[in-house]
Structure 1
Amino acid sequence: MEAINNFVSTINGFVWGPVMLVLLFGTHLVLTLRTKFIQRHIFKAIKLSVTPDHEAEGDVSGFGALATALAATIGTGNIVGVATAISLGGPGAVFWCWLTGLFGIATKYGEALLAIKYRVKDQNGEMNGGPMYALERGFGQKWLGIMFAVFAGIACFGIGNMTQGNSISTMVESTFNIPTWITGVVLMIATGAVILGGVKSIAKVCGKLVPLMAGFYIVGCIVIIFINGAYVGEAFNLIITSAFSGSAVGGGFVGASVMLTIRYGIARGLFTNEAGLGSAPIADAAAMTRNPVRQAMIAMSGVFWDTIIVCALTGLVLVSSILKDPVGLEGLNGGVLTAQAFNAIPVVGPIVLTIGLITFAWSTILGWSYYGERSWVYLVGTKAIKPFRIAWTLVVFVGCVTALDLVWNIADTLNAMMAFPNLVALLGLSGVIVSETKKYLWDDNLDGWTTDEIPVVEK
């Protein structure tokens, strides 16, 4: 088993190596330029996210789709991922993580636009969309759509289910001394109660859970930044300067070259917001929206909250904490580093972090359940829905009580395999993204109705 895990880790290192990172970040840049820096409309996008479009066709509100997507992306990557980037790439990695989010806004916009443009209805009248439909209906390459759906349909059980359940049960056991099997049973029942109701039930829960959990965590970060106030200015300066010079050994930081700083910053930034992976557009396709651009703008606001705000705050908390206590935090990594930083808030700090991680992980399970379900519906039809939901609920328990290093590595590799066909769709259909943006945004027609018919797929 160890040999298999090492082999998969080697493959994982290759598929998430420099080529994939350049391809992902390059797509961010291309779409940023082709959409005339769509990021400048971010505040208009935020306003749209809380503006209901009840008369439009769709399964859930635009905000509900955004909350479902955020549920799957705001997670341990924002907490543990940023800490890992700092531990391996130095404080400058925070800058590159943030920059990846800034340019990733354009990619998330393009993904959602194509998801709405090429979505279909299944025989139950529910919306289906995402990279697989864009590849088949827009790009004319169904085999790439099948490729994406297969990888997403398998990867979801790892990265979106088992690993998240394991994180929750492990944390609950270490914090409250509750056996993992008890957590598994409770989590399995709670998850089943939500996902058996479909996307409307998921969106309803996520719509309440996401703002609460994100707000809870953000307040905790702000309090720590206030406590570390004397070191925040120095932390900010260090993040900027070391982004272009690397970091020297000492002061609680490991030494890192500029290339390592850039590599880990970009890699963790991509993991935190999933822009380019193609998962979030599956949720966006279910949204009630009168035209593709409105929901695309709502979708891109998710990257703003996920990476520009949450990851930036986490980075400032961690770097200022290390500067404040270089000896106590030296050599710490991942969740352990973040946990120690949150100890700055007496008694309440560890509780805030624990609740944040648990809710983040559970919301990821809910969001990814919909991604996986729609992938299997694309492959075999609506008959897959009930078996998938039952299997997903049972696998939550398995994840809570099983060691998952191999599962995590396999899922990580499949995520990269998902990204490739999605990036093909984005680049190949970038002309469609531009024309739709011109039609509704640049020509000041955001309230205009699309004339595209949503086809019904009998399968």
Structure 2
Amino acid sequence: MDSLLVLIETLLAPVVGLVNRVLWDGFLTYALLAVGLYFTVRLRFLQVRRFPHMLHVLGRGTAGDASGISPFQALCTSLAARVGTGNLAGVAIALSLGGPGAMFWMWCTAVLGMATAYAESSLAQLYKVRDEDGNYRGGPAHYMARGLRRRWMGTLFAACLLFSYGLVFSSVQANTMATALDTAFGLDQATIAIGLVLLTGAIIFGGLRSIARFAEVVVPFMALGYLALAGWVVVTHLDRVPEALALVLRSAFGLEPAAGGVLGGLAAAMLNGVKRGLYSNEAGLGSAPNVAAAAVPVPHHPASQGLVQAFGVFVDTLLVCSATALIILLSGVAVEGNDGVAITQRAMTVFFGEWGSVFVAVALFFFAFTTIIGNYSYAESGLIYLGGGRRSLLALRVAALLVIVWGVYSKVQLVWDAADAAVAVMATINLAALALLSGVVVKLTRDYESQLRQGLAPEFHITRYPELGDGVDHEIWRERGG
């Protein structure tokens, strides 16, 4: 058996490595930015112009119905998956490899990513369907199959989603969490594994609605608590904030001493900042639209849920990631090495003593645990699209719990690299679908904004757009009362 595993690893490792090098290093970083810039320009900087309206829509979207969860629950569930260990450890690594300027490029990535998130979640809403239990389901697989009439794209996307988010990424979170809890509290692996399995099982066996209710309570508490602590650090060291921000800007354009001179510093800051931003907020990867489609939009228009999910990118990167970066920069600790958790813990101890290290471990637990829950919700959408029934869902839930145990005890780099490759494939076909359906996104946006200018609460009626064909469920988007 061992020799067989070695053979499989020997054969797969070069292929997986090639996919990651070609797609992540040579294509996706630039493609995700290009698509974000394209939608930003074509939608006339919608994410900036309509930012106050995002808050208005979010404030209204607190109720679901028999078919779907509320927009607020959908936002919290997507944030559960977005806000993870990367917001603590990943930001520190980006600063270590790219310098303080990496933060500036993370901000740029987030602003452009908001437009991409708007586009993919609006399309997910438009092309959603009802499953056998009457619940809304949708996502990139659906708009590939129903909007583009390319079912093979949808099938490939759903398979990659199921493998990476359902069977691998949760193990990464569990592994990081186990290390942090052991360091801070001396908890053994068995205790951590049993606790995680019991907590996770109690939530995911209740299905998407149970996950949404959990996220609705825990995610705001988690994010606001972390931001409040970071806010206290900033306020009590306000005199040093301008210096820190100036350092970020100088480093972003290679004006700080760095290996490789000006161009080397610029390239390092840009590459690491963009990569961390994209990995953290997930805009364009096609993950968040799967839960966005499950929401009952308020107002009753696909674009409204797109705006809600665009706000999710703002929270993840421009707020939470920025909070971590400012804590690290204001602390003055040496930012070096690949252990992001250790860097963040050292920064926290500067302000809070030994309690700071404990706080990072607790924050990491919440961030990682909510990510496990959010990731499972995406995997469930992929399985249902592929035709999985109740028995398949049960098998997925059991597998998700086993993966957590495996993650606590093991760290198999090839499997994690394979998951990265699957996400790269997933993102590539999602970006292609977004580009091909960009005209539909523009049409939805114009319809929504036209009604806003008339002082109306926007509603989408499919009868006004017969050219969209039968790919859109007419029962869902018929005129109300009609």
TM bucket (normalised to shorter chain) is: over 0.9
Q: Please give the alpha-carbon distance, in whole angstroms, between the structure 2 residues aligned to 1:55 and 1:370.
A: 17
3-state SS of 1:275 partner: coil
Equivalent of residue 367 in structure 1, options 374, 392, 400: 374
Equivalent residues in 2 for 1:277-356, closer than 5 Å: 277-289=285-297, 290-321=300-331, 324-326=332-334, 329=335, 331=337, 333-344=339-350, 345-356=352-363
Match of 1:418 in 2: 426
Match of 1:400 in 2: 408
The one-letter code matched in structure 2 to 1:171 is A
Equivalent of residue 150 in structure 1, options 155, 159, 168: 159
Match of 1:84 in 2: 93
Q: Please give the alpha-carbon distance, in whole angstroms, between the structure 2 residues aligned to 1:320 and 1:256.
A: 25
Give the root-mean-square deviation of aligned CA atoms. Answer: 2.4
Q: Quick one: structure 1 residues 434 and 403, their matched pair in 2 at CA, closer, same or farther if it must change by over 3 Å?
A: same
Match of 2:246 in 1: 237
Equivalent residues in 2 for 1:267-278, closer than 5 Å: 267-278=275-286
3-state SS of 1:360 partner: helix
Tell me if the contact between 2:167 and 2:400 (Cα under 8 Å) persists in the aligned partners.
no
Q: Quick one: structure 1 residues 51 and 206, their matched pair in 2 at CA, closer, same or farther if it must change by over 3 Å?
A: same
Q: Using the TM superposition, give the Cα deviation of residue 71 of structure 1 relative to its aligned residue in structure 2, in angstroms.
A: 0.2
Aligned: 1:134 with 2:143: yes
Q: Please give the alpha-carbon distance, in whole angstroms, between the structure 2 residues aligned to 1:179 and 1:5.
A: 33
Aligned: 1:167 with 2:176: yes
Match of 2:438 in 1: 430
Q: How many residues are paired up?
A: 451
Aligned: 1:94 with 2:100: no
Stretch of structure 1 that moved more, 12-21 or 334-343 = 12-21
Q: Please give the alpha-carbon distance, in whole angstroms, between the structure 2 residues aligned to 1:333 and 1:169.
A: 14
Q: Quick one: structure 1 residues 196 and 422, their matched pair in 2 at CA, closer, same or farther if it must change by over 3 Å?
A: same
3-state SS of 1:350 partner: helix
Stretch of structure 1 that moved more, 238-247 or 267-276 = 238-247
Q: Quick one: structure 1 residues 209 and 4, their matched pair in 2 at CA, closer, same or farther if it must change by over 3 Å?
A: farther
Q: Please give the alpha-carbon distance, in whole angstroms, between the structure 2 residues aligned to 1:448 and 1:58.
A: 20
Q: Please give the alpha-carbon distance, in whole angstroms, between the structure 1 residues aligned to 2:442 and 2:220.
A: 32
Aligned: 1:380 with 2:387: yes
Tell me if the contact between 2:333 and 2:347 (Cα under 8 Å) persists in the aligned partners.
no
Tell me if the contact between 1:98 and 1:311 (Cα under 8 Å) persists in the aligned partners.
no
The one-letter code matched in structure 2 to 1:24 is L
TM norm structure 1:
0.92
Stretch of structure 1 that moved more, 23-32 or 310-319 = 310-319
Equivalent residues in 2 for 1:5-44, closer than 5 Å: 7=14, 8-9=16-17, 11-40=19-48, 41-44=50-53
Tell me if the contact between 1:75 and 1:360 (Cα under 8 Å) persists in the aligned partners.
yes
The one-letter code matched in structure 2 to 1:399 is G
Q: Please give the alpha-carbon distance, in whole angstroms, between the structure 2 residues aligned to 1:446 and 1:320.
A: 47
The one-letter code matched in structure 2 to 1:296 is G
The one-letter code matched in structure 1 to 2:228 is V
Q: Quick one: structure 1 residues 354 and 256, their matched pair in 2 at CA, closer, same or farther if it must change by over 3 Å?
A: farther
The one-letter code matched in structure 2 to 1:231 is R
Q: Please give the alpha-carbon distance, in whole angstroms, between the structure 2 residues aligned to 1:266 and 1:175.
A: 31
Q: Deviations over 1:81-126 (max 9, x none)?
A: 1111111111111000111001110000001100000001111112
Equivalent of residue 218 in structure 2, options 200, 206, 209: 209
Mark the runs of 5 or more structure 2 residues left unpaired by the alignment.
1-5, 463-471, 476-482
Aligned: 1:108 with 2:117: yes
Match of 1:440 in 2: 448
Match of 2:469 in 1: none
Match of 1:118 in 2: 127
Tell me if the contact between 1:135 and 1:145 (Cα under 8 Å) persists in the aligned partners.
yes
Q: Using the TM superposition, give the Cα deviation of residue 346 of structure 1 relative to its aligned residue in structure 2, in angstroms.
A: 2.1
Q: Using the TM superposition, give the Cα deviation of residue 18 of structure 1 relative to its aligned residue in structure 2, in angstroms.
A: 3.3
The one-letter code matched in structure 2 to 1:426 is L
Name the % identity. Answer: 34
